[in-house]
Structure 1
Amino acid sequence: MKAITLTTKRVSLAMLVPLLLVAGCGGETQGVSKDGAAVTAASDLKIQFMVPSFADVQDMNNEYWSKFQKDNKVQLDVEWIPSGDYDTKFDLVLASGNIPEVIVANSITRPTLQNAVKQGAFWDLTPILGDFSKYPNLKNNGYKDVWNYIRTDGKIYGVPRNRPHIDLSLKIRKDWLDKLHIPVPTTLDEYAAALKAMVNGDPDGNGKKDTIGLIGQSNSGNFFADSDGSFLAAFGGLDPVIAKDGGLINKYLTPNYTNMVAYFRQMYADGSLAKDFSTIKQTQAEEIFTTGRAASYGRNTWRDYSFEQTIKKVQPDANVISLPPMKGPGGVSVQLSVPFSGAFYISKKVPEAKVKQILDFFEKTTTMEQTDYNYYGIEGVHYKLVDGQQKLTELGVKQVTANGTGAIFPLAYNNKMKVINPAAPKAYNDAKEKSVASYAQVGKIDLFSIINSNTWTSIWPKYQSEWQSMVVKAIVGQISMDEYKAYIDKLNGSADFQTAYKEFAADYKEKFPK
């Protein structure tokens, strides 16, 4: 899908008469009023962004964005890249050196990002932020340790996009479980058995055995949409796995991950995985699930309601639930998100004066009020209060929920944000919050979304594609598990990898002090 660049152009009444514009960032605009007197007003800050789009491309002139830009005296020039293509585009942009003023990195540990940071592509924000006395919202409205997590070599280069811990969940069609008289799975073995039964049955009643079990979605080392981490948590792979020499083994190369591969291998042999799981894009995976062709899918918890409503158009009895924590051999199937979703990085080509203006913009918008605006929009336009809850209008669903408007906001930390759906009734949201509340107590975060290793950053790009290919080959049966294990042992035995693991251990100790 071709990326689309949308530039907001705002028109005021003053533009209907001759104007003399004074160029410059943060300068002034001078014109003539009706009575001929000079009129001077501060010009809007213009910021160029490149961000991932998780839904439709935004209309930056609609009611939502027009009010936001007016209230915050900002003009946003945003290049929205489809999320499934974003990492590829991100790497190409970094390689070209033609970096926009502000670019979102989905992962702060992405090797291409870390290389660009070390090569001086982005501003070191550490001296500007200082003790955060000028940025109390950035300091106090995020998770307590988020600024420590975001550092590279002890310095701050990115502004974290604050997000809640409770976010991702593994979904299943409960109406299909009920139809086949299968209890809601509480273990990984029960889950695999349930999918096998649904694939071999006819839960949608179309007279065909064409149901897909777990839908795949390959993206940046993940193979099953946003659920890889949930499965890995159940195998103990999100806990620190220590090498014999004291290093911290990367999650991809642990025995725990290998055990997860073996689990998927059996599911594939049983027909419970999508045959082309490794090549399906996000938009394809979502379309397969929302047209009632798949039993299970991993995405954000808040999407349960939206997915269910879409499926109901073709299967009126659809009931999508987030599975409870399922017990595995090393833990339970809950991955908590790190308390930020990547970060904003400011190109070194931006003048320092404008860097400070951009940070002021982030400071101003990192509030609960702005987070509520991001989530609900304008009262009377995008939502109405019903039983004490914001209830989105049809326009609100279109301009807010359906469009992933949070891409350019740091937002404030709020552990309900990725659970409740503003388009859903209050009773539904209350029940959903209750159903996943235990996630916060039993889930684990992905340490490797936070900790860094310079050596890993340097060497992993040389092996990543090969490793991904080996994972797929092992799952689909093209190589034996013994062959896969031998491949992993070879990597782990490399001096470079052992050095990387020692660096991971040192960074872990720094960012997660006991």
Structure 2
Amino acid sequence: MNIFSGKALGLTMVLVLSLGVVAGCGGTGQNGNKAAQTGEAAKKLSVQFMVPSYADVPDMNDEYWTEFQKSSQTELDVEWVPSGDYNTKFDLVLASGNIPEVIVATSTTRPTLQNAINQGAFWDLTPFLDDFSKYPNLKNNSYEEIWNYMKTGGGIFGIPRNRPQIDISIKMRKDWLDKFKLPVPTTLEEYETALKTIVNGDPDGNGKKDTVGLIGQGFLLADGDGSFLSAFGGLDPVYDQEGGLINKLLTPNYTDMVGYFRQLYADGILAKDFSAIKQTQAEEMYTTGRAASYARNIWRDYTFEQEVKKVQPQAEIISLPPMKGPGGTSVQLSTPFSGAFYISKKVPEEKVKQILDFFEKTTTMEQTDYNYYGIEGVDYTMVDGQQQLTELGTRQVTANGTGAIFPLAYNNKMKVVNPAAPKAYNDAKMKSVEEYANVGKIDPFSIINSDTWTSVWTKYESEWQSMVIKAIVGQVSMEEYKAYVDKLNGSPDFKKSYQEFAAEYKEKFGK
């Protein structure tokens, strides 16, 4: 299947093709279908979930959820936890032992999760999944290597929440490039030159040189760190002399990136308070036309552009093409899953099969499109061959993170297409970022784990972050920063963690 294909079907077609009767009297999906065929009344599958909420908490009684639960014969008891509080709540729930039937771990390498798995808190799903002959959707509609990524100690404990790899882009104000007759940057050097010209000019015509070149959110650029690190080769494995896999944060490549940001800061390109800007502040700066470049999800290009046009009508925002750097290109591919579902060991074996059947029947492109657009005639209408969200759909679907409880099918359109944008815009946007899939790199440290690193890094993380910021703003020299990194890398604990990373990398990536 083309990763950019997939037309949303009407609700009836979605349910016929992908959902059916999830659970029946006999326990498994197959037995349930057999029961339905023989005229036995189907029983609803009632499942407890705890999931993160990245937007407004959904109303489980609205049209979207009511229709889904009715047609799928499910009763979903979902605890939606605000994303900012989720990891804390997750850890507390695991410590209490009062684990819901299905819980989402936002990171498969989280130490508390790994400890809980080792203590037998969750089902090893390997015997259930077997050769995936009973679960073709979970196999064929997931990223091809994803089941290796789900392993802990050789067993598969998680069901991945499939998500697209093409996601984050470095954005640029194309109208400002045009104003100064600058080409679209294709290298980091051209990018730096363009931003320097913009901040030293008056792109918004307000008579002041107050435009910021590059903004981020949180430590460094947050969403954009991986894109720049990829350009320095920092998402490729880097080994020490003993064959240990050095954590990406302490590689020479990361140090080179720090040096690059140091130059951007000295040239007045990087926001002066880059390390303290919060997400809401960054969005406000960008959507009011006060910054030239910002790294976030590609689908936001249209939304950001529409907001900027309210104050600067000629605004045009583009996702930059892959830019060449000293060691790679400026594209980080997202991990092809956003955490995973784990089934509590307290769930009876037969119900485990029912839950797996639920996941099997919602891991389809039809369900993914339903998740993205909702019900035709209610949440969206067809306009020029494309789904156009209604005002209700915007509230029920886009604003409520409806995909939290579904594995969904792996595809690369979800973080590119903006449901509110015209079809021509979305088509052009998808084409403009197709190359990302060919040149981008995955961050292996979002997949591999080291218990030693987890226990040791907490002692140094704040100190290291402080050193990075000091190096960028010029409070310490790059030589001092390099010496600090070398000291950490020479520690026996760090060397031990690198050996553990190397073993995990070999198991999950096969090299």
State TM-score, norm by structure 2: 0.86
Alignment-derived partner of residue 129 in structure 1:
129
Alignment-derived partner of residue 70 in structure 1:
70
* Deviations, residues 373-414 of structure 1 (Å, cap 9, x unaligned): 011111111222233222222322332233332222110111
Alignment-derived partner of residue 392 in structure 1:
389
Count the aligned residue pairs.
477
Q: Does the 8 Å CA contact 2:368/2:408 hold for their aligned counterparts? A: yes
Alignment-derived partner of residue 469 in structure 1:
466
- Listed as ranges, the gaps of 5+ residues in structure 2 are 1-22, 27-39
- Measure, in 1, the Cα distance between the counterparts of 2:216 and 2:470: 15
Q: Which of 299, 304, 314 pairs up with 1:302?
A: 299
1:300 deviation in Å? 1.6
Alignment-derived partner of residue 488 in structure 2:
491
The correspondence of residues 490-509 of structure 1 with structure 2, limited to 5 A, is 490-509=487-506
More deviation in 297-306 or 392-401? Answer: 392-401
Q: Which of 304, 307, 313 pairs up with 1:316?
A: 313
- Measure, in 1, the Cα distance between the counterparts of 2:493 and 2:255: 21
Q: Classify 1:126/1:265 alpha carbon distance in 2 versus 1 (closer, same or farther; 3 Å).
A: same
1:41 deviation in Å? 5.6
Q: Does the 8 Å CA contact 1:164/1:416 hold for their aligned counterparts? A: yes
The correspondence of residues 75-154 of structure 1 with structure 2, limited to 5 A, is 75-154=75-154
Alignment-derived partner of residue 204 in structure 1:
204
The correspondence of residues 252-291 of structure 1 with structure 2, limited to 5 A, is 252-291=249-288
SS of the residue 2:310 aligns to: coil
- Measure, in 2, the Cα distance between the counterparts of 1:236 and 1:88: 33
Alignment-derived partner of residue 192 in structure 2:
192
- Measure, in 1, the Cα distance between the counterparts of 2:97 and 2:424: 50
More deviation in 174-183 or 258-267? Answer: 174-183
Amino acid at match of 2:54: F
SS of the residue 1:395 aligns to: helix
Q: Which of 436, 439, 461 pairs up with 1:439?
A: 436
- Measure, in 1, the Cα distance between the counterparts of 2:425 and 2:291: 23
The correspondence of residues 207-218 of structure 1 with structure 2, limited to 5 A, is 207-218=207-218
Q: Classify 1:69/1:465 alpha carbon distance in 2 versus 1 (closer, same or farther; 3 Å).
A: farther
1:26 deviation in Å? 8.5
Q: Classify 1:85/1:227 alpha carbon distance in 2 versus 1 (closer, same or farther; 3 Å).
A: farther
Q: Does the 8 Å CA contact 1:225/1:299 hold for their aligned counterparts? A: no
Alignment-derived partner of residue 457 in structure 2:
460
- Aligned-residue CA RMSD (Å): 2.6
Amino acid at match of 2:486: D
1:105 deviation in Å? 2.3
- Measure, in 2, the Cα distance between the counterparts of 1:366 and 1:470: 44
SS of the residue 1:237 aligns to: coil
Q: Does the 8 Å CA contact 1:246/1:502 hold for their aligned counterparts? A: yes
Q: Classify 1:126/1:330 alpha carbon distance in 2 versus 1 (closer, same or farther; 3 Å).
A: same
Q: Classify 1:301/1:97 alpha carbon distance in 2 versus 1 (closer, same or farther; 3 Å).
A: same
- Measure, in 2, the Cα distance between the counterparts of 1:491 and 1:120: 34
Q: Classify 1:253/1:95 alpha carbon distance in 2 versus 1 (closer, same or farther; 3 Å).
A: farther
1:254 deviation in Å? 0.5
- Listed as ranges, the gaps of 5+ residues in structure 1 are 1-24, 29-39
Q: Classify 1:90/1:488 alpha carbon distance in 2 versus 1 (closer, same or farther; 3 Å).
A: farther
- Measure, in 1, the Cα distance between the counterparts of 2:171 and 2:71: 38
The correspondence of residues 285-434 of structure 1 with structure 2, limited to 5 A, is 285-434=282-431
1:464 deviation in Å? 2.8
Q: Classify 1:212/1:354 alpha carbon distance in 2 versus 1 (closer, same or farther; 3 Å).
A: farther
More deviation in 74-83 or 247-256? Answer: 74-83
* Deviations, residues 145-167 of structure 1 (Å, cap 9, x unaligned): 11111111211121111122222
Q: Classify 1:100/1:202 alpha carbon distance in 2 versus 1 (closer, same or farther; 3 Å).
A: farther
